[in-house]
Amino acid sequence: MSKTYFVSDFHLGINAKLSSHDRERLICKWFDEVKNDASEIYLVGDVFDYWFEYRRVIPKGFSRLFGKLAELRDMGIPIYFFTGNHDMWMFRYFEEEFDIPIYRKPVIREINGQKFFIGHGDGLGPGDYGYKFIKKVFSNKFCQWLFERLHPDFGLWLMRFWSGKSREATAPEEAGFLGEEKEWLIAYCHRKLETLDIDYFIFGHRHLPIDYTLKNGQSRYINLGDWLYHNSYAVFDGNNLEIRFFENESGNSFGN
């Protein structure tokens, strides 16, 4: 039976529980496992911890990942890439090199009769006005043109510096599930359900595997977690969706 896979927040380029290189090898091993029954794969943002795509230069490294993506595409498996807050300056390289479309905003997809709302999750929901302003600046074409004038060595160092500052700003309590009242993506899902009929909301960004049934008693909010510590992903077999963990026996998801 063919399956749809969702995964996010590899954050390649920084070390965590594993080094970036070892994590990249683990991710490629996961791709080798799922390619046998994957009908499509959604990469839901922050695949890279920092990224700026110059006209003729891309960040050094990630050759194993690129080779694996090329292999999967040559097998005919569709792959969809959503930009996150760490790799929003992804432009046309993936489209031109791998025929992988890039999405910068959430999309709605119907899969086997079920409706999926899919996006990275950054800048959604109430609050976080500082980041929302910064995202508008970073998304501005003129600002991108100015940044491209920087030498790649300095520009990519600066991207890595900003990336580190972003993680330092994350509140320690966000390591755990905060409950319905404080989880801003749950509030966003509830607001969307007022006008949309959605079965599954699929997000990354939160770095915590979450499977939460929303207030209508049917729709579910799924957060994919990360590969810095959880090695988590979601799989839909055409009838059911569940969060799974790759080579992480202690992995568990949060919810209600």
Give percent of the chain with pLDDT exceeding 70. Answer: 77
Measure the CA–CA gap between 50 and 158, rounded to whole angstroms: 9
> Which tokens go with 96?
């031109």
Reported as a single tens digit per residue, the pLDDT across 130-179 is 555 556 656 667 666 665 666 666 666 666 666 664 554 444 434 677 77
- Angle formed at CA 181 by CA 179 and CA 182, multiple of 5 degrees: 75
Measure the CA–CA gap between 119 and 196, rounded to whole angstroms: 15
Nearest one of 75, 47, 82 to 61, comparing CA atoms: 47
Measure the CA–CA gap between 155 and 168, rounded to whole angstroms: 20
Compute the CA torsion angle 90, 96, 97, 103 (nearest 10 deg): 40
Contact 216, 195 (CB under 8 A): no
Measure the CA–CA gap between 239 and 227, rounded to whole angstroms: 26
Top pLDDT among 160 and 115 is at 115
Q: What are phi and psi of 146, to 5 degrees?
A: -65, -45
Reported as a single tens digit per residue, the pLDDT across 60-70 is 778 999 999 99
Q: What is the DSSP annotation of 121-172?
A: -TT-SS--HHHHHHHHHHH-HHHHHHHHTS-HHHHHHHHHHHHHHHHHTS-G
Q: Helix crossing, 141-148 with 129-139: angle to 10°?
A: 70
Reported as a single tens digit per residue, the pLDDT across 189-230 is 999 999 999 999 999 998 999 999 999 999 999 999 999 999
Reported as a single tens digit per residue, the pLDDT across 1-60 is 699 999 999 999 888 899 999 999 999 999 999 999 999 999 999 999 877 676 766 667
Top pLDDT among 117 and 17 is at 117
204 SS3 class: coil
Reported as a single tens digit per residue, the pLDDT across 220-252 is 999 999 999 999 999 999 999 999 999 999 898
Compute the CA torsion angle 186, 2, 65, 201 (nearest 10 deg): -10
- Domains along the sequence of the chain with CATH: 3-255 (3.60.21.10)
